[in-house]
Amino acid sequence: MAYCVHTVGREILLHLIDFLVTSYGRDPVITRLLNNTRVHIMPTMNPDGFEATKVPDCYYTRGRYNKNGEDLNRNFPDAFENNSASIQPETQAVMDWIKNETFVLSANLHGGALVASYTFDNGNPVTGSLNGYSQSPDDDVFIHLAKTYSSNHASMYKGSGCDNRQTFPGGITNGYSWYQLEGGMQDYNYVWGQCFEITLELSCCKYPPADQLEKFWRDNKAALIEYIKQIHLGVKGQVTDKNGNPIPNAIVEAKGRPHVCPYRTNEQGEYFLLLLPGTYVINATVPGFKSMLKTVVIPDNTGNFSALKQDFSFPEVSDKIRSRVASCPKIPLYQELTRASAAVKPTVHILVLMTVMLVIFK
């Protein structure tokens, strides 16, 4: 999934749509990509802000606010503290979209800098904020995703930033290390949507002249395609009962990577875990039953457009047995990450789950 909140990103995503549609059936790489990937694109999240920018310049900020004067970039529930901002209709629409899909990978496009920023944007001592870095359980994957975009961009990888005061080695940054913010979209997607999202700052000038927009597309074209391919990192599969029926809300996570809101299967019993190539223990847990552990060796399958497939079948579970579903807390307590996740203990569990899904690229 990809969505934009500023002018350059909006134009780039429109070009991306055109490129994917016109290349399908003609370009073998794009054809294979689209045959194996579901892509959702939202060119504009804040149409009010876009229309309000009548006299744009490089540093004009009016476009970041909607008609109600609210900054949508700070409007999501926060993973570390209570966000007092009133949820706006645009934000709620995106949250509903996330809930009703199974997004796995996404990017949101911004302007004002030239860097790929990754979660967390906020933090506490448990995630390393005292050292100026807020680390998620999947920090290695996020670094890889950010580097993938930066290294395939025409100049982002140089890390020069937009002025002498701001440099980004390799063209990437941890969001918190850059500057702390509350209510950001990428943290929300990762925590509640089970979706790995990074923020792409694509232009030093927020509202460049129209004749420069074509060059921005050329600078970002290869990076966008390579980034989409990363949806095929890691492992995916289905969790079923003894009759082969899908089991929704089963917890499936890699051992040693606990999430405060454990990652769960969707209504079709499907799970998707983005992981770098390597050996992992994957744990599947159906509440009330013994967990199943499987060791997998994950190759780099992005070029084959298919993540490693590993299914789980629970012979003791029937379609008449369904777990009680409850919501994750709106403010997860990241202190819980210091304890072993329930999803990685091979014992019998009684767990409370919820269904919250997100999809960007599936």
The angle at the Cα of 189, spanning 252 to 52, to the nearest 5 degrees, equals: 165
Q: With b meaning 16 or more CB within 10 Å and e meaning fewer, what string describes 321-353?
A: eebeeeebeeebebeebeeebbbbeeeebebeb
Token couple for 177: 């290390």
Picking from 243, 314, 244, 317, the residue whose alpha carbon sits closest to that of residue 283 is 314
Count CA atoms closer than 13 A to 38's CA, side-chain side: 8
The residues, any chain, with a CB within 8 Å of residue 359's CB and separated by 6 or more, are 1, 38, 40, 98, 101, 102, 103, 104, 195
Q: Which backbone phi and psi does 58 adopt, to 5 degrees?
A: -65, -30
Q: SS3 for 9?
A: helix
Catalytic residue of the set 11, 70, 197, 201: 201
**Dihedral over alpha carbons 354, 355, 358, 362 (to 10 degrees):** 120
Q: Please state, in angstroms and rounded to a whole number, the distance separating the CA atoms of residues 175 and 121.
A: 4
Q: Please state, in angstroms and rounded to a whole number, the distance separating the CA atoms of residues 2 and 20.
A: 14
Instruction: Please list the residues that pair with 114 across neighbouring strands.
Output: 202
Picking from 33, 13, 21, the residue whose alpha carbon sits closest to that of residue 361 is 33
Q: Please state, in angstroms and rounded to a whole number, the distance separating the CA atoms of residues 225 and 272.
A: 20
201 is catalytic: yes
Token couple for 172: 């990437």
Look-up: residue for tokens 């929704």?
A: 248
Q: Please state, in angstroms and rounded to a whole number, the distance separating the CA atoms of residues 40 and 111.
A: 21
Token couple for 45: 């999240």
The set of catalytic residues is: 201
